[in-house]
Structures are given as C-alpha cells and as structure tokens.
Amino acid sequence: MDAIDVIRTKRDGRALSAEQIAWVVDAYTRGEVADEQMSALAMAILLRGMERGEIGRWTDAMIRSGSRMDWSGLDRPTTDKHSTGGVGDKITLPLAPLVAACGAYVPQLSGRGLGHTGGTLDKLESIPGWRASLSNDEMLAVLREAGAVVCAAGDGLAPADKKLYALRDVTGTVESIPLIASSIMSKKIAEGTGALVLDVKVGSGAFMKDTTMARELARTMVDLGTDHGVATVALLTAMDRPLGLAVGNALEVAESVEVLAGGGPSDVVELTVRLAREMLAAAGVSGKDPETALKDGSAMDSWRRMIRAQGGDPGAPLPVAAETVEVAAPASGVLSRLDAYAVGLAAWRLGAGRARKEDAVSAGAGVTLHAKPGDTVQEGRPLLTLHADDPGRFPRALEALEGAYEVGTQADPTLLPLVIDRVTA
C-alpha cells in the first residue's frame, strides 16, 4: 500500500477499499504514514465524504488499533450514553446511577472539557477524593459494587482515534461528519457496552448548530452502532440555552445531587428520565421506572456507592469560588433569550474550562442562572451570578455576556423543544 494512492483515491471522489482503510489507519497509528499525509486524507474525506460502508470500515479499523473491553461475564445487561457536549450538560452524573438503580450496568468512559463545553471528569473531580483513572479490573469492581462507573478511557482503547483527533484539531478537519462519527463510535464500541443512547446537542452552545447537520450525525452514528452489533438510538436535544441552572464543575455536581434527591431544574429532570428510559429499553431491561427511582431514594443510593467506590466522599462539602459578581436583569418582563454559547464562554473565562488539554480548571468557578427563557424577571434583580477564584477574570466573563440575553414580553418563539427528534436504526 502507498499513502499517496490512498489520498488520491479519496481526493478523486472514489470509495476507499477495506484494504486501503485497514492499512492507512494501522500505518498511521504506527507512525509509518506521516502527519502531513493523514492531514491530506482527512481533508479529502471532509470535502468528498464517505459512504456508509466506508465509515463502518474506518470505524472498525480504529477499534482494531487497540483493545476492546468485554462485559459478557456480568449478570445484567450493559448500557451507556454519549453526549456531543454542551453548556450545563451534567446529565451523566444523575443518569448513570439512576439507570443502575433500575436494573442495568452502566460502564461509562468520559472525557474532560475543552473550550466552552464542560467535561464530566472535571465535574466529578470536584468531589474530594474521587478518582477518574481506573484499571479494567477496578472498573469491573466498581460496576459490581455500584452498578455504574464513570471514568477516563485508557490509552489502549482506540489509540488511532487519539492520534487522529489531535491532528484534525489543528488541520481544520474537525467538522467532517464521517470523522466525528467514527471518532465517537470507535471508542464507544470498543468500550464493550451492549446498548448505547446518543444525546446529540443542537444550538449555539453545541458543536452542531443546526438540526439538519445534527440529524445527519445522529443517523451516521446510529448506523455505525447498529452495523457493529450495538443496539443504538439517538435523541436530538436543545442546546440553544444552557441546560439547568448551573454551569461549572462543582456547581453542576450540586445540581445533579438535587436531581437525585428528587428535586432539581425541570429540564434536567426531564432529559435525565427520558434518556434513562431509552437506555433501559435499548438494553432490554424492564425493571423499576426511573421516575420511581428518583423519588424512592434508590438512585441516590447508587450515586453514593459509585462515588465511594471511586475514592470520593459523597458527603463532603464541594469547593466554593472565593469571589462572586451578580448580573442584574436590565428590565422587568419575560426573559426571552439566554444564549448558551455566551454563558459557556463566560464560565470558561471564569476558570471552569480550559484552552488546552493540559490546563488546570477551577472546581468552584462558573455561572449560576436565576432564570431561564420564559421566566419572569424584575429589573435590578439577579439574573446571573458569576463565580471565580480570581477576581481578575470577571471583566472578560462579563464581556462574553454582552448581548447574550434579552427581556421582552414572551420567550423567543424560535427556541427549540428540549427533545427535538429521535433517530433509530
């Protein structure tokens, strides 16, 4: 095989063969294909696209570049959820123990935040003592003890994706749907779960800004999961405004605990329950209903077991930022709009997120919302509270929020419904 021939094939709009895909992914992982050659191929894929069979073969080659986990020895079905990311998206935190309380195992490999979107591991690491890095044996032990585990992926899982993702990030090829879908699904399939529910976010605070592109990504990923023997379904959900009332690591943990205690914001509760039902149905589990598990305390019990099993103290006080600044409502009326991206950007500038993977994050930094679009607000009353350890961060965060909210007589009629669509095999 020759890298130039592979590049030319896709450059000229032809489908890559199974042999070409298997060779180029393996050779790139081993360092035989240079970064500049894989960059050219990634750009050709972005411009020319891929057929369903090609994407499946590409995903399979990424999976084969590393190990694949096996949960077949467990006595209950496994099911997992993946979100494409957003602002205030803390759903994994209450969802994993909730599904465990209803009768399925949840082995969830999660990531860290980058830019304006938060990372599940960053949020959980605000809990004193909690550990993100677990061996496969430790994952299995936590699953058996708590029914759910949320941790970082090991280096042996789809290493080709890790290398290719870093390259796409600096070559303008992140937006390719075949490459996005294969990146997500190679890791999720290698994770070994029996069923998978995808939460594909749509709106200003999401990677996918419009419903058409989000639906195409969802369809591609559902097809990949189905073709690899994983029962897969996707929901398209709104990210044109923040999810819940808390944006930031410890702030989102606190809100998640509220949900597990039977309270919390209605949109977070609604989406958590909807995704839990989808996960249980995909896994073929028909035990306790998620709403019941939130009300009777069993979901909270699962949460406490999961946190303790990973070294955390579920009863310990969460970090609190040293400084706060309030943003007041500019007028009385109805909050008609609150832009998700702007709030996420403000939280990032306050220290809740990172610009580079190696950057540290502030556990207590973030933004608290006092109203959501459609709520009545009063002039001069708090609309947002900004939290930061370094007061020097407030000016740029406030700058990010300029023009991000409007007060009128009604909610913006173009706001997306919380659940926009459902995509199945």
- The whole-number pLDDT of residue 358 equals 75
- Do 306 and 335 belong to one domain? no
pLDDT band (50, 70, 90) for residue 48? very high
Active site residue 116: no
Single out the catalytic residue among 183, 204, 302, 362: 183
Assess contact for 309 and 357: CB atoms under 8 A: no
- Tell me how many domains the chain contains: 3
Assigned domain for 373 exists: yes
Within a domain: residue 419? no
Catalytic choice (57, 90, 187, 274): 187
Active site includes 199?
Answer: no
Asked if residue 190 and residue 254 are part of one domain, the reply reads: yes
Q: Answer whether residue 302 is part of any domain.
A: yes
pLDDT at 156 over 90: no
Average pLDDT over residues 69-85: 94
Tell me the whole-structure pTM to 2 decimals.
0.95
Q: Is the pLDDT of residue 344 over 80?
A: yes
202 and 338 co-located in one domain: no
Catalytic residue among 168, 188, 219, 393: 168
User: Do 330 and 246 fall into the same domain?
Assistant: no
Whether residue 366 sits in one domain with residue 273: no
Check whether 174 has a pLDDT greater than 90: no
Predicted local confidence at residue 113, as pLDDT? 77
* Cα–Cα–Cα angle for 318, 321, 322, rounded to 5 degrees: 130
Q: Which of 161, 223, 227, 240 is catalytic?
A: 161
**pLDDT score recorded for residue 338:** 97
Query: What domain range is 8 assigned to?
Result: 3-49
Does residue 355 register a pLDDT over 80?
Answer: no
Active-site residue among 10, 57, 81, 82? 82
Specify whether 216 is located in the same domain as 330.
no
Identify whether 163 is a catalytic site residue.
Answer: no
CATH of the domain at 178: 3.40.1030.10
The answer to whether residue 82 is catalytic is: yes
pLDDT tens for 195-214 read 999 999 999 999 999 999 99
> Can 187 be counted among the known catalytic residues?
yes
